[in-house]
Amino acid sequence: MRYDVAIIGGGIVGAATFYKMQKAYPHLKMVLIEKEDMLADHQTGHNSGVIHSGLYYTPGSLKAKNCKSGRLELVEFAKEHGIDHDVCGKVVVATDESELPFLEKIYNTGLENEIEGIRKITGEEVKQYEPFVEAIAGIHVPCTGIIDFRGATAKMVELALATNPESKLILKEEVTAVDTMDGYSVLRTPKGKYEANYLVFCAGLQADRMAKKNGVKLKEKVVGFRGDYYELTEEGKHKVKNLIYPVPNPAFPFLGVHFTRMTDGEIECGPNAVFTFKREGYGKLDFSLRDTWDALTYCGTWKLFFKNMKFGINEYRRAFSKRLFLKTLQRMIPSLTMEDIKPGRSGVRALLLREDGDTKDDFRIEYHGNAIHVLNAPSPAATASLAIGGYVTEEAAKHFKL
């Protein structure tokens, strides 16, 4: 069978695109191809499960616009389909006077992005939300929440498949080659081939490689950064109610270690951010020669390292030291002890890194022949997934003339 549209990548962005396109065009035959034996098995299934508000993103950017609209749509989707979630709110807290100007900047960005209900609070008011936090000031963000992203991904695919019985989900098949024919494409896997008139690539950690297989001239490379989590033990769980974030350091390209109550009741602390020697490696010692060679022969990686040398060293030290990780957590909750935390899971972020080492690129979607490539979709892509899927669907209508 030749499909009208093939979507490559079964994370939440691929699933949301499948769902939105199939909903818009129920008569089209579509296929979603995922190389793992389950959906959402990499970035989607290993993130912190937060429904982001859109507080940090440059006003007018795709991240800012899609995060807010995607968040509202995701919450409605979760309500309608019984996905575990809770719009519980979060606090962003300053623990030192040097952080106050950055806290003010975040607050003003939130106002520009029209984040509902945000307000500045005092250190005493922080304790009304999180009694064990010691802070001098903060921001309360009531529209932030938590969700089961794996469950949401599965439901999106289920609904798409129910829309057209000729559409298919293919698991455990990796697309190894893309052949462009006269008016259609052939996707080759170790088990066979799939013909499709149009392609949408949502390949996450493999986005740059899939783009090159499709003939896209791409200067940038995806570089992976592992994030390690700790969990609060039963003795420590009472010290966190919902979500607690630090004021992010503007010189460092990540949000910093934070506390997150998950939908299953567990409480995670993290993640840190360290260069990973394997794009899909979740252990501290995981290694791939190909991934390491790709990253370390790329000039953008070294420019990022040199720009953030001090932070990078500290992150690596903390990755292998429970004591140092605890010390970071104690900046917000000083009463935490070694007995309150235990090692948890890890995730890997895909960053499409520019040649100058810049990681602050917006969501990036490009077109090549009969294909759309979602090249850069870091956080808050899971929150924004339905909005991204809607955007891709609109663009497909124009570029593919659906």
The answer to whether the beta carbons of residues 247 and 237 sit under 8 Å apart is no
**Final residue in a domain of this structure, among 81, 108, 142:** 142
**pLDDT value of residue 1:** 82
- Whether 67 is in a domain gets the answer no
Residue 167 structural domain: 2-45+150-220+361-399
Question: What is d(CA 15, CA 119) in angstroms, rounded to the nearest whole number?
Answer: 34
Instruction: Please indicate, yes or no, whether residues 342 and 273 belong to a single structural domain of this protein.
Output: yes
Q: Residue 252: pLDDT above 80?
A: no
Residue range 152-170, pLDDT digits in tens: 999 999 999 999 999 999 9
User: 10 Å Cβ neighbour count for 356?
Assistant: 10
CA–CA–CA angle 228, 93, 12 (5° rounding):
45
Judged against a pLDDT cut of 90, whether residue 146 lies above it is answered with: yes
234 and 337 co-located in one domain: yes
- Whether 122 and 159 map to the same domain: the answer is no
Q: Domain check: are 243 and 329 in the same one?
A: yes
How far apart are alpha carbons 288 and 141 in whole angstroms? 40
Q: What is the pLDDT of residues 186-222, one digit of tens each?
A: 999 999 999 999 999 999 999 999 999 999 999 999 9
Are residue 329 and residue 243 in the same domain, yes or no? yes
SS3 94: strand
Q: What is the pLDDT of residue 401?
A: 85
Encode pLDDT of 280-296 as tens digits.
Answer: 999 999 999 999 999 99
To which H or E segment does residue 20 belong? helix 12-24
> Are residues 325 and 338 part of one domain?
yes
Number of domains in the chain: 3
Q: How far apart are CA 4 and CA 199, in angstroms?
A: 9
CA distances (Å), origin 178, targets 50, 62, 90, 312, 370: 35, 29, 44, 37, 12
pLDDT surpassing 90 at residue 184:
yes
Same domain, residue pair 302 and 342: yes
pLDDT at 238: 97
Would you say residue 328 has pLDDT above 80? yes
Residue 32: its pLDDT value, please?
Answer: 98
Residue 276 falls within a domain, yes or no?
yes
- 339 and 367 co-located in one domain: no
* Amino acid at site 313: I
List residues bridging with 124 in a β-sheet. Answer: none
